[in-house]
Amino acid sequence: MLFRCNILAIVGGGPNPKLPPNKVMIWDDHQSRCIGELSFRSEVRAVRLRRDRIVVVLDHKIFVYNFVDLKLVHQIETVANPKGLCAVSQQQGSLVLVCPGGQKGQVRVEHYGARKTKFIMAHDSRIACFALSQDGRLIATASSKGTLVRVFSTVDGVLLQEVSSGWFLLRFDTAIASSISFLISQTIIVS
């Protein structure tokens, strides 16, 4: 869903899907009709919406489209991404997109306004989850080992903070962080 508006991105899934899992339908709930469709050769893993962009995540690729005309703006190759990891900044202004990089443990940051790509070697093992701050300036990452959450600047890739599992009062040797979120105040929430 795009913020609190009537536009939804719908993808088929589950045991008996009503829609194919390789198609994204853009639905206008006020008009009760489909206003656009995007089809792919493989299963869609995730969709991210902004007021100006639609981002579709596949196993090894990410497609960025203009929202108004569904024109393809950018295509990104990634490592295997079965969880559909991808985040986009939500504040108005220039788009920042974060996705897995080209190698294990790497995060790719696309600054569309500055036309700049930054690669951050965040962890030694595979990325389990990440979150992007609303303004796109911070990214928090957790690896599949689940022992650390790291916070980086997306502008220069500098490690700003590293928090070990003891801080979360969890046993990360038996549980892997599955979700990270930023509050508007830039505070991190891990679950």
Write the pLDDT tens digit of every residue in 122-180: 999 999 888 888 889 999 898 887 778 899 999 999 999 888 755 444 333 333 445 56
Range of the domain at 144: 82-191
Same domain, 182 and 101: yes
Whether residue 189 has pLDDT greater than 60: no
Same domain, 97 and 190: yes
Which of 186, 183, 176 has its CA nearest to residue 83? 176
Which CATH number goes with the domain that contains 191? 2.130.10.10
Using CA atoms, how far apart are residues 74 and 117, in angstroms rounded to an integer? 12
Predicted TM-score of the model (pTM): 0.85
Say what the pLDDT of residue 48 is.
95
Same domain, 95 and 61: no
Which of 69, 62, 65 has its CA nearest to residue 99? 62
Average pLDDT score over the chain: 85
Same domain, 89 and 154: yes
Q: Could you tell me which residue, 127 or 56, shows the higher pLDDT?
A: 56
Tokens coding 37:
């469709």
Same domain, 29 and 16: yes
Domain boundary among 77, 107, 126: 77
Same domain, 178 and 112: yes
Using CA atoms, how far apart are residues 149 and 165, in angstroms rounded to an integer? 8
Same domain, 122 and 164: yes
Say what the pLDDT of residue 3 is.
56
Strands (E), 43-105: 46-49, 53-57, 61-66, 72-77, 87-88, 96-100
